[in-house]
Amino acid sequence: MAYAKDTKRRLIEGFDPEATTIPEYAKANDISESTFRKWIRKAENNGTLKTDVEVSDKHPQPNFMKKLDPGFNVMNVLQMLSSRVADHRDEEKDYCKIAVETNKPIAVIKAADLHLGGMDVDYKSLMEHYQFLMEEDRFYLQLFGDDINMMIMHKTTAARHDILTPDEQCNLLVGMVDQLLERGKLLSMCWGNHSDEFTERTAGFSLVKLLLSKKVPYFSGMGYIDLVVGGQTYGQGFTHKTRFNSFMNPLHGSKRMQQMHYEIFGLNRPMCREYITAHTHFPAVALEGCQPEDRIYLIKCGTFKTEDLYSRRYFAKGRIGCPTIVYYPDRVEHIAFPTPYDAYRYMTGKDWPGLKNSERK
């Protein structure tokens, strides 16, 4: 079918590619699609087709080649993500409240770096401390990381430092924790670079957290505990290791935690009565303030890994040390001692009988 020039011009100029497609326009005007495409190409080549787009004052809308699913709802997706994040944060505990109902003073041993399964651990001393804890009433335990050695998971050459395989180490730790919980002795646990970071690097998750976080309050980072003893509350801030470290001052990290309390724990949590760290295998205790209500303790836990080659090369032999704090239930007063045996002597007025046959007199 032949078309007059005026008709061609009218049809070409009437075509708006933003409003319709060539097949739709051709069909609507009873033209062959191939014929109309020839007209368009010829008009483009001759420069007679108007291709400039007038810019309006309105915000231009992008023209997506693939349209979004009309059922997609951003708010629904964000709500789902919020719920999943909330569940995740419940697992990543950074605060808990622990109550010990009593009308008598209690003592809590602060221990870390047991390194169960390592070849360079003083198991004789560890066994003595464990026996003491299990035998004596009103003595409790908090662990601050590196409960198992896990050197096998760190480097191939480090495997010689483990006398137990990873599964044997985990079984020993789980058995110990179960026994302590059965006797009501264990209050809390904390992450460590051996017990958590080694398996996180190789397997993508914390093995110890997976095993024990459902059994006992387990902290994967810096933690805050309100320890309620009788009618008194004692705040604790702690972590296994901080980014602050000084070989000359073992309590440097604890002091920095105190100084950065509100940056770390937030404005709604009051200053702690004690700031506890571990990792460096060198125990220490310092007191700030004299009156009972003013006392703040800076605490560094020791280790039972006394013959660690890395420490002996670059620092010093590891030091056994489990600082122990006595808490009063009827008044705000807590007193720190360098060992549980000193705390026992303070509470009973006599030496622990087990010290008679011990080298730690």
DSSP string of 238-286, one letter each residue: E-S--S---TT-TTHHHHHHHHTHHHHH-TTSPPPSEEEE-SSS--EEE
H/E segment holding residue 226? strand 223-229
Distances (CA, A) of 195 to 3, 40, 126, 238, 299: 85, 73, 18, 16, 21
pLDDT > 90: what percent of the chain?
54
Q: Can you tell me the distance from the alpha carbon of 46 to that of 258, in angstroms, rounded to the nearest whole number?
A: 80
For residues 117-146, average pLDDT: 95
Chain-centroid distance of CA 66 in Å reads 41
Element (H, E) at 335: strand 334-337
Q: Which two tokens stand for residue 178?
A: 């179960």
Q: What are the tokens at 219?
A: 């902290």
Do 110 and 322 touch, CB atoms closer than 8 A? yes
Reported as a pLDDT band with limits 50, 70 and 90, residue 55 is very low
DSSP conformation letters of 8-72: HHHHHHT--TTT--HHHHHHHTT--HHHHHHHHHHHHHHT-S--PPPPPSSPPPP--SSPPPTT-
Tens digit of pLDDT for each residue in 21-54? 888 888 888 888 888 888 888 877 776 655 444 4
Asked whether residue 154 carries a pLDDT value surpassing 90, the answer given is no
Phi-psi map region of 59: left, alpha, beta (phi>0 left; psi -120 to 50 alpha): beta
pLDDT tens digits, one per residue of 75-97: 888 888 888 887 766 566 799 99
Pick 97 or 72 by higher pLDDT.
97
pLDDT digits (tens, 9 = 90+) for 222-240: 999 999 999 999 999 999 9
Q: Which of 3-7, 156-160, 324-328, 336-340 has the lowest mean pLDDT?
A: 156-160
Say what the pTM is: 0.75
Q: Is the dihedral of CA 117, 122, 127, 133 positive or negative?
A: negative
Q: Which residue has the tokens 């006398």?
A: 163
Distance in Å from the first CA to the final CA of the chain:
116
- 307 contacts: CB under 8 Å, gap ≥ 6: 120, 121, 122, 317, 318
Q: Which CATH superfamily is domain 95-357 in?
A: Metallo-dependent phosphatases (3.60.21.10)
3-state secondary structure of 101: coil
